């Protein structure tokens, strides 16, 4: 199956309905065991559109509560792989969000959406 078509559709929908955001990724440099240090980090900024979703949960009695976390969906097309090893921050206006977990929705070998759980 050609997953690149799904990747393009995800990008189109998120660009249409998403908010302007910026993802700042600081990748850790290579590790040198002899000095127990990392090489200089590289920081890159990516302008993106993202969609916020809130998390809701239902307890045993059926009451719904909003969890104090949110998920930001970002189309993966035209972005490098973003993983939990990098220092990542998501900016939207004056708000800064720090991801707790980043999942890649990736059927096959094509990344379609980054699912970023933030505090």
Paired tokens of 97: 């969000």
Tokens of 79: 């972005």
Distance CA 118, CA 5 (A): 28
- pLDDT, one tens digit per residue, over 67-87 is 556 888 888 888 888 866 778
Confidence of residue 22 (pLDDT cuts 50, 70, 90): very high
Distance (Å, rounded) from C-alpha 52 to C-alpha 74? 9
**pLDDT tens for residues 28-80?**
788 889 999 888 788 899 999 898 886 565 667 777 665 556 888 888 888 88
pLDDT at 114: 87
As given in the structure block, the two tokens for residue 99 are 């991801």
Q: Quick one: pLDDT at residue 34?
A: 93
- Which of the residue ranges 11-15, 16-20, 48-52, 106-110 would you say has the lowest mean pLDDT? 106-110
**Model pLDDT for residues 87-101, shown as the tens digit of each residue:** 899 999 998 989 988
């Amino acid at each position: 199956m050609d997953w690149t078509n799904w990747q393009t559709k995800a990008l189109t929908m998120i660009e249409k309905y998403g908010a302007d955001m910026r993802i700042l990724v600081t990748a850790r440099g290579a590790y040198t065991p002899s000095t127990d240090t990392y090489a200089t980090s590289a920081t890159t900024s990516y302008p993106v559109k993202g969609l916020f979703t809130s998390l809701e949960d239902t307890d045993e009695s059926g009451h719904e509560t909003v969890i104090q976390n949110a998920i930001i969906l970002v189309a993966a097309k035209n972005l490098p792989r973003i993983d939990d090893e990098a220092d990542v921050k998501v900016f939207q206006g004056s708000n800064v969000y720090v991801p707790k977990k980043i999942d890649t929705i990736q059927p096959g070998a094509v990344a379609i959406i980054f699912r970023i759980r933030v505090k």
